[in-house]
Amino acid sequence: MILEIKNLSKTYSNGVQALKALNLSIPTGMFGLLGPNGAGKSTLMRTLAALQDADEGEVYLDGIDVLNEKHKVREILGYLPQDFGLDPKISAEEMLDFYAVVKGISNSKQRKDMCQNLLVQTNLWEHRKKKLGSYSGGMKQRFGIAQALLGSPKLLIVDEPTAGLDPSERVRFHNLLSEIGENIIVILSTHIVDDVSELCTNMAIIDKGQVFYNGEPMNALDHLRGKIWRKIIEKKDLRNAQELYKVLTSKLFIGKTEIRVFSEEDPQNGFEQTEANLEDVYFYFIRSGRI
């Protein structure tokens, strides 16, 4: 199964062009959508989730015209937005049953079995009778995935799912997404590079409504192999370094500043070659453009 996006464009009434003839081909599995705030990720997610219209373009999923057959899209879609409302006074069991009714699952036995299976799958069965207001951030996100999986969707969209989670909850959530992504299309929209590097076999980097890279993370890393250099400098020398080199990132390191630069050749002056990582890939494409 493939989600095909062709020449998708969207301009808001305030003149902001959020998507500019965007093209993507997304296969079954975990697909990472990386980009800074304002890149167009949320606009793309809302469009794919049939929550807003595009100005131009085409989107097809398993024979469905996503832009013009929204009722069919909603039947096979699971969506976990960045912010979703939960009634803090209702238990997870009751809330999930309510969502199942809204989803159109009218058979009570089928609904009960489905809700039970999803609560088990998301490791919430022991907490099913607790009020949602008592849930931790990670538990709420796992409940969000449970409601998104109602009806066995073919396409699951999750928007910034690990923002604010502690490390243990993040690992739990990653394991859950990885399991889900074996059989359906899962689009993970995020600005957290580690989420994509740990989960996704395919990815795209977008900014200003355009695709700057689309493919396997390893292929992107190959493009930078042997071209990333690091150096520890004084913080006061950072501006000068940015003028002299193509600095991708700068981070504090034992009281000083570590810079990572892209260079086809050895920049000399105390730089040492280092292995490229996905964060290097991200900033290279955001700051330098397409391959």
**Mind listing the pLDDT tens digit for each residue in 144-161?**
999 999 988 999 999 888
Q: What is the pLDDT of residue 291?
A: 42
Calpha distance 227→12 (Å, rounded): 39
In the chain, domain spans: 2-216, 226-274
Share of the chain above pLDDT 70, in %: 99
pLDDT in tens, 28-67: 999 999 988 888 998 999 999 999 999 999 999 988 999 9
Contact 148, 188 (CB under 8 A): no
| pLDDT of residue 289 exceeding 80 | no
- Of the candidate ranges 4-13, 102-111, 241-250, the one whose mean pLDDT is the lowest: 102-111
Q: What is the pTM of this model?
A: 0.85
Inter-axis angle of helices 137-148 and 92-102, to 10 degrees? 30
pLDDT digits (tens, 9 = 90+) for 176-213: 888 888 889 999 988 888 888 888 999 999 999 999 99
Q: pLDDT of 257-280, one tens digit each?
A: 999 999 999 999 999 999 999 999
DSSP string, 210-247: EEEEEE-HHHHHHHHTT-EEEEEE-GGGHHHHHHHSEE
CATH number of 2-216: 3.40.50.300
Tell which residue, 259, 187, 186, 190, has the closest CA to residue 228: 259
Element (H, E) at 11: strand 2-11
Average pLDDT over residues 56-79: 93
